Amino acid sequence: METQVLPFTDDSIAEAGRLILAGEPVAVPTETVYGLAADATNAEAVARIYEAKGRPSFNPLIVHVPDLAAAQRIGEFRDDALELAHQHWPGPLTLVVRLRAGAGIASIVTAGLPTVGLRVPDHPAMQALLGASGRPLAAPSANASGSISPTRAEHVLRSLGGRIPLVIDGGAARRGIESTIVGATGGPLRLLRRGPIEIDAEAASGAGIESPGQMASHYAPSKPLRLRAEAAEPDEYLIGFGVIDGDANLSPGGDLVEAASRLFDLLHSADASPKARIAVAPVPDAGLGAAINDRLRRAAHRA
Ligand code: TXA
Ligand code: MG
């Protein structure tokens, strides 16, 4: 794939909007770092973010929206969260709140959690792309897994060149570090990631900093889970892959983007089924399969 780099103009944003609606990820500047954005309502589009980044595990992603009203259609805001939103949006603050039922956010975006990280960015390019696409945009930093966050279009190109169709060049990202993340989902506000916005000690009191990869923020099914199953035992709900069919199938055709896009939905289905245990067919470890297997292994050990 050839990666185009286009300056931030009406025309490049229109092209980026078309790509987003076609299910492709696009790199776009925000005021913190460049993000790799995809339609948060399209699970396969979001799976392509992971494919492009080569990320070996699924983390919940931040959903970018144009304004607070759009955020409130997706998440439930308590008064303390609303107050922070009024104070700091648009800006480098992400609020983790309860996800509204029926909000249309793909389960791969929240990595299966009942909560969602929301941010109203303060950058004209990201705002223009939100307008052009009309979709909430899931966007982690636009770098390959393991490399540092990009603050210029050329950093994105160096890291993801050949793996994404388009980078919008909006110059240097002003802040250069990722947004502050605050959780408002139960109990007091919690500071989940430090960033450009200082949240006062009182607001964050009682908070331990949770590092991004930490497990409290990760969904796992409540039932025992068996890996690399060729067939189901009588009390197992089998999640199939490819020719190993089960109660459900991650991807009958063996497509890893499709499998990643369905992973959390099927884990939830398995959890909700009357069967006491879950089994999952072997998934190859290549490409996105590594992230799928990482999540499955964690789920297997947790139970
Ligand atoms: O500045 C930023 O926030 C950049 C730009 C592109 O907006 N984005 C960014 O995304 O840093 P990312 O994917 O690197 O950070 C996502 C982190 C997760 O690792 C997790 O710590 C937190 O946000 N997060 C998102 N949703 C969450 C949730 N439902 N529960 C707990 N943590 C969540
Ligand atoms: Mg990152």
Both tokens of residue 202? 């009182």
Between CA 108 and CA 25 the distance in angstroms is 15
The pLDDT tens digits of the residues spanning 91-137 come to 999 999 999 999 999 999 999 999 999 999 999 999 999 999 999 99
Between CA 206 and CA 257 the distance in angstroms is 40
Q: Is the CB of 133 under 6 A from ligand 1?
A: no
50, 57, 61, best to mutate for ligand 1 pocket (most atoms within 8 Å of CB) = 61
Looking at every residue in the chain, the average pLDDT score rounds to 93
User: Measured at the alpha carbon of residue 162, what is the angle toward residues 121 and 28, in degrees to the nearest 5?
Assistant: 10
Query: Higher confidence at residue 186 or residue 244?
Result: 244
* Res 224 pLDDT > 70: yes
pLDDT, average across residues 252-266? 96
Between CA 28 and CA 285 the distance in angstroms is 30
Residue with tokens 């005021």: 31
Between CA 226 and CA 296 the distance in angstroms is 9
Q: Give nearest CA residue, ligand 1 atom 10.
A: 140
Q: Give nearest CA residue, ligand 1 atom 19.
A: 212
Quote the ligand 1 centre to 197 CA distance (angstroms): 15
Is 141:2 a contact under the CB 8 Å cutoff? no
Quote the ligand 2 centre to 175 CA distance (angstroms): 14
pLDDT category of residue 146 using cuts at 50, 70 and 90: confident
**DSSP letter at 188?**
S
Cis previous bond, 90, omega within 30: yes
110, 181, 194, 215, best to mutate for ligand 1 pocket (most atoms within 8 Å of CB) = 181
| pLDDT at residue 148, as a whole number | 87
Quote the ligand 1 centre to 74 CA distance (angstroms): 16
Between CA 22 and CA 20 the distance in angstroms is 5
Residue with tokens 């480098």: 92
> Looking at the whole model, is its pTM more than 0.95?
no
Summarize the chain as % helix, strand, coil (round to 5).
30, 20, 50
Ligand nearest to the CA of 151: 1
Between CA 99 and CA 207 the distance in angstroms is 21
Quote the ligand 1 centre to 61 CA distance (angstroms): 5
Please give the domain boundaries of the chain with CATH numbers for all domains: 4-203 (3.90.870.10), 225-300 (no CATH)
Ligand nearest to the CA of 143: 2
